[in-house]
Amino acid sequence: MSSVKVELVHNYDCQLGEGPHWDDQTQTLLFVDIDNSAIHRWNPATKQTKTTIVKDSSIGAVVPRKSGGLMIAAGHRFASWNENTGESETFKEVNLEFPTSRFNDGKCDPVGRFWAGTMGRESAAASPDRLQGKLYCLDIDHSVRTKVYPVDISNGLSWTSNVMYYCDSLKLTIDAYDYDVTTGDIKNMREVVKFDREKEGVPDGHCIDTDGNLWVAMFFTGQVIKVDPRTGEKLQYVKVSDIALKTTSVCFGGPNLDEMYVTSARNKPLMEPTENDISGALFKASG
Ligand code: BGC
Ligand code: CA
C-alpha cells in the first residue's frame, strides 16, 4: 500500500466502533460498537449490514466459532453468540473484582484460542480507572487463563508463528512476547515500538501483514501507522480522516486480503459536532 486511497464505507455513527474481523468464509466484515452493545456484519457485495444487539452488557470483541456461530467477549463474560436467535451461552466470567470494568479488544491466535482483555470504566476517552484490566485467553478446551496483568487499556493483538504483539494503550508501546503456538504460553516481554502521544496519538488495535509489519490504528489522530516491530521503525503514515480522529482498530479483508478496514469512535461530546460528522464511521483503505 504505497499510495493509499481511503474511502468511507458507511457512517454507522458508532459510539465506539471496534474490533474489525474479516470473516473469510462469508466474505463479510464483523465489528462491534462497544457502547451500543451492537455486533455489525457488513457485506461489501450486497452493501447490507446485519446488526444484532447483545443484551445486558457492552460488547468488546467478536470472532467466528469453528463449530458455527460466534464467540464474544462481552462485559465480563466469554460466551457463544447465535446471530440468528440472540441465544448465548456463558463460558466464563472474568475481572469481577472490578465491577465497572469491561471487555475491550480481542482476537484469535493462529490456532484459534480467543484472547481478549479488559479495562476500567472511562471518565473520558482513553482515561480509564487505572490498572483494572487484564489480558485473558480462552483456550480450545474452554479453560481461561490470565496472561498479562495489570493493564490499563487492553488493546491490539497480532501474532506471527512465534511472537505475540500486544498493546496496552496507555503505555504508548507495542510489546512483543515469545509465543509458543502449541501451548499458548508467552514470555520474555520487550517493548518494540514507542509512540509520541501528542504527535501520533494513542496506539489502539493493530494487525500484521505478510511481511511481518504491523498496522496500528492511532486513537485521537485519525490515522494508521505502519511499523516494523523488528526495528521499531515507522514506515508509513496513512491518514484515514481529519474528522473521525478516534480511529480504533484495523484488519485486512476483501477477496484478496489486500484491503484494510478501519473502525472509529464518535468524537462527541469531546468535540463540537460538525455538519459532516463522520466520526464513528467504518473506513476502507486500499493501495
Ligand atoms: C477503547 C476505548 C479507549 C481507546 C483508547 C479503545 O480500544 O475501546 O474505550 O478510549 O481504546 O485508545
Ligand atoms: Ca481497540
Ligand 1 close to Cβ of residue 154 (< 6 A): no
- Shortest-distance ligand to the CA of residue 103: 1
- The ligand whose atoms approach the alpha carbon of 106 most closely is 2
Distance CA(4)–CA(16), nearest Å, equals 25
Strand segments, DSSP code E, in 56-185 are 61-64, 70-74, 77-81, 88-93, 102-108, 114-119, 122-124, 127-128, 133-138, 144-151, 154-159, 163-168, 173-179
Cβ–ligand 1 contact at 202 (below 6 Å): yes
Instruction: Kindly name the residue from 152, 168, 204, 277 that is annotated as catalytic.
Output: 204
The reply to whether ligand 1 has any atom less than 6 angstroms from the CB of 152 is: no
Q: Supply the DSSP symbol for 101.
A: -
Position 268 scores a pLDDT of 67
Residue type, 54: V
204 is catalytic: yes
**pLDDT beneath 50, residues of the chain:** none
- Convert the pLDDT of each residue in 93-130 to its tens digit: 999 999 999 999 999 999 999 999 999 999 999 999 99
- Give the Å distance between the CA of 224 and the centre of ligand 1: 15
Ligand 1 pocket, residue 245 CB under 6 Å: no
pTM for the whole thing? 0.96
pLDDT, tens only, 210-247: 999 999 999 999 999 999 999 999 999 999 999 999 99
CA dihedral 134, 140, 143, 145 (to 10 degrees): -30
Using the structure block, give the residue that is written with the C-alpha cell 508509513: 236
For residue 34, the ligand 1 atom closest to its alpha carbon is 8
The protein residue with its alpha carbon nearest to ligand 1, atom 5, reads 126
Residues 6+ apart with CB under 8 A from 256: none
Q: In angstroms, rounded to a whole number, what is the distance separating the alpha carbons of residues 241 and 220?
A: 11
Alpha-carbon distance 166 to 164, whole Å? Answer: 6
- The pLDDT of residue 267 is 79
CA atoms within 13 A on the CB side of 81: 24
